[in-house]
Amino acid sequence: MSTDNWCTPRDLARMLGPFDTDPCSNPSSHIQASRTYAGTSPEDDGLTAPWFGSVFVNGPYSDPLPWCKRLVAHDGPWVALWKLDPSTRWWAVLMEASPTVAPFRKRLKFEGEKSMTANFPSVLIYSAWRPCVELMQHLWLPTYAPRLQPERSGG
C-alpha cells in the first residue's frame, strides 16, 4: 500500500475535531472539514487551492516538502500529521515556524485500502492550535512544573 493513501484513523479524526480546510482529503477521509480537496481535478488540487481558517494536513509522505512550505506560509492555525523524521529538509522547513511537536505514544494504525500499523513513529506538528485533553493522553507533550519563586525576607 502506498504511504500516500493512508487515511487518518477514525478515532484520531474525532479527537482532532473539526477544521475549516482539509487540502489532503479523499472519499474515505474521516476528518471533519468545511472545505475539502480530493485532488481529482486540477481545480481540486489541495496544494494550490485556497486554504482558509484552521487547516489539517495528512499529506503525501512521498513528497511532504511543498505541503510543509504551504503550512508555514499559512496565517491561521494548522495541524500536520507526519512521520517523525527530523533528518529531512521538510522537517527543517516546518521547524522554521516554531510549531509544537508532539509524537504519538504508540504507532498509529492508518486506514486505507486496508488498515495498517505504520512502521514508523508518527507526530502531530501544529501552530496556533491546541489538542483536546483526550488527544493529549496519546501524545508525548512537554510538561512543566510551576516555577517556584524564592521567598523574600521582609525588611
Distance CA 16, CA 126 (A): 11
The yes-or-no verdict on residue 64 having pLDDT over 50 is: yes
DSSP strand pairing (122-127 vs 78-83): antiparallel
CA-nearest of 79, 71, 72 to 101 is 79
The number of helix segments (H) and strand segments (E) in the chain equals: 4, 8
Average pLDDT over residues 80-88: 96
Q: In degrees to the nearest 10, what's the CA dihedral of 116, 121, 125, 129?
A: 70
Strands, E assignment, the chain: 19-22, 33-36, 55-57, 78-83, 100-103, 109-110, 116-117, 122-127
pLDDT, averaged across the chain: 88
pTM: 0.87
- Select from 127, 124, 52 the least CA-distant residue to 96: 127
Does the domain at residues 3-136 carry the CATH identifier 3.40.50? yes
Confidence of residue 151 (pLDDT cuts 50, 70, 90): low
